[in-house]
Chain A
Amino acid sequence: MAIAKVLLVDDEIPFVETMTKRLTKRDLDITPAFSGNEALKRLKENDNIEVVILDVKMPGMDGIEALQEIRKRYPLVEVIMLTGHATVESAIDGMKRGAFDYLMKPCDIDHLISKVSEAAAKKRQHENKIIEARMKEITGRRV
């Protein structure tokens, strides 16, 4: 089984393609997307995506807007912001709006994987807690 199911969003197609190859090789299940809108579409299609790697600066819907949408629609999905240096502030802004973390381009692949793992773990933990809560609820009802 893959380490995590990841949606990789960046408007730079070669970057997405290469990263997809490299990350897939490192046991990540990657779904590529090239814009904010496409990312939302992919999330809608695949409800098992755990982590979104989101570029901050994109034409059209940018990373921050996409982040807000994602957090609104899929609160359990963790988002890692990916940024060029010029948008460090917006990355911080993203953190405040509920992103899991941010990374600077070009980033170390291993570092990225560890972040993704953490994010996935956090997501699963959340999910587990929810399941537990539900179970408690259900068991509580039974009692």
Chain B
Amino acid sequence: MEIDPFIFRLSIFMLSIFIGYYVVWSVTPSLHTPLMSVTNAISSVIIVGAIIAGLAGNTENIFNNSSIFGFLAISLAAINIFGGFLVTQRMLAMYKKKKKDKQ
């Protein structure tokens, strides 16, 4: 008997939860705010679904009632992707070590 592909996806999902568990515990507490902003950015990979949804309209009618939601979702996710990564970058650039040569 063949295994339903759903089971494979479920396996990926379960194992990823465990990876997430161990990886996140190793994040230093001082970087918890960048952690939240970067998880925001990466969870917006939902944009791949939005792109498929947006392009589902046919050529005569690009904006039908289903694809318009896709287009809106593209913009929302894009705000998060750009905003999330850039604000994380901005924050991380501020974390500096003590200067060796003290004035």
* Bound together: no
Give me the interface of B with A, judged by CB distance under 8 Å: none
